[in-house]
Amino acid sequence: MSEQIIQALINGLVSGSIYALMAVGFTLVFGIMHVINLAHGELYMLGGFSTFFMVSIYQINFFVALIATLIIIGVFGFFIEKIIFKPLRNASLLNTLLASIGLSLFISNLVLKLAGSDMRNIEFPFSGQSISILGTSVSVHRIVVLLLTAFLVCLLGWVIKYTKVGKALRATAQDTDAAALMGVNINLIYGIIFAISAGLAAVAGGLIGSLYVVDPSMGMMPGMKAFIIVILGGMGSVVGALLGALIFGYAETFTTLFLESSYQELVGFIILILVLLFKPSGLFGGVNTK
């Protein structure tokens, strides 16, 4: 049992780190732009397909393909903001929500039409290799995924805290009008936010595609989970999104270990309900943790 618990601790951390990539991008878009992007899961799915085609069809190195995926889907996200969400900046939250649902349906059906419904797996360089941690055999694949997600989250934190773009992002989040008066290009910042969000989701999709499979419907449940995690942590809170992702990852992993895998999808919703009953604004709602 001790080996199973160690394995579950590592698997929960891996799952939580991937959820964190999804949730951080989601909460940045909401926290700064006040947009709930329900097409976030489809950007995740596009990342999976982008990585698959580069690795399997064009024989590009997996890690190079991930970087390319981050850039490609990031640029796609930038133009999504300009084409779809920019005209709706002064519209109600409901209008932007409906626009994101329409975008989600369009992307998923387009990919289904072009790529078919077959499940595909992305080849990983260290597939089948393992290392021993506290006497337990752990897949090198999962360790690499964990290191990559941790690196990206830390890199994003560094960018937000120490770079000029990051300072502009924080200023825009605090007061859009004041930031504009101080010379911040709000139009560019909004595009960058969407690009970062889409790029992180795409990398998460590529990583999951290497662990499991890629298919046109793969983004639906992770997109919903990212939304739940953001609510759980507190809408707009990056720290809350990170903590919520870890809670979600461990809850699912230990539910599978001690109960049945069929309950895995249910446990996150139960946690969300319990948190909102006692703290409706989420774990970090109303706290300045951006």
CA-nearest of 176, 251, 265, 201 to 73 is 201
77 pLDDT above the threshold of 80: yes
Average pLDDT over residues 258-281: 80
| Mean pLDDT of the 81-85 span | 95
Residue 288: band (very low, low, confident or very high) from pLDDT cuts 50, 70, 90: very low
Distances 197 to 46, 85, 228 between C-alpha atoms, Å: 13, 14, 16
The β-bridge partners of 130 are 139
Domain count, the chain: 1
State percent of the chain over pLDDT 70.
98
pLDDT at 286: 55
Assigned domain for 205 exists: yes
Q: What is the mean pLDDT of the chain?
A: 90
Structure tokens at 51: 């990585």
Answer yes or no: is 237 within a domain.
no
Instruction: Answer yes or no: is 55 within a domain.
Output: yes
Model pTM score: 0.92
Residue 49 lies in a domain: yes
Its domain, for residue 152, covers 20-219
Q: Which residue would you say has higher pLDDT here, 34 or 200?
A: 200
Tokens encoding 240? 């809350």
Considering the domain boundaries, does residue 289 fall inside one? no
Task: Establish if 193 belongs to a structural domain.
Answer: yes
| 38: in domain | yes
Instruction: Band the pLDDT of 148: cuts 50, 70, 90.
Output: very high
> For tokens 């690795």, what's the residue?
55
Question: pLDDT exceeding 90 applies to what percent of the chain?
Answer: 62
pLDDT tens digits for 184-239? 999 999 999 999 999 999 999 999 999 999 999 999 989 989 998 998 888 888 88
Residues 135 and 198: their CA atoms lie apart, in Å, by: 38
Give me the residue label for tokens 């950007």. 43
pLDDT at 68 over 90: yes
For residue 209, is it within any domain? Answer: yes
Per the model's pLDDT, the better-predicted residue between 268 and 287 turns out to be 268
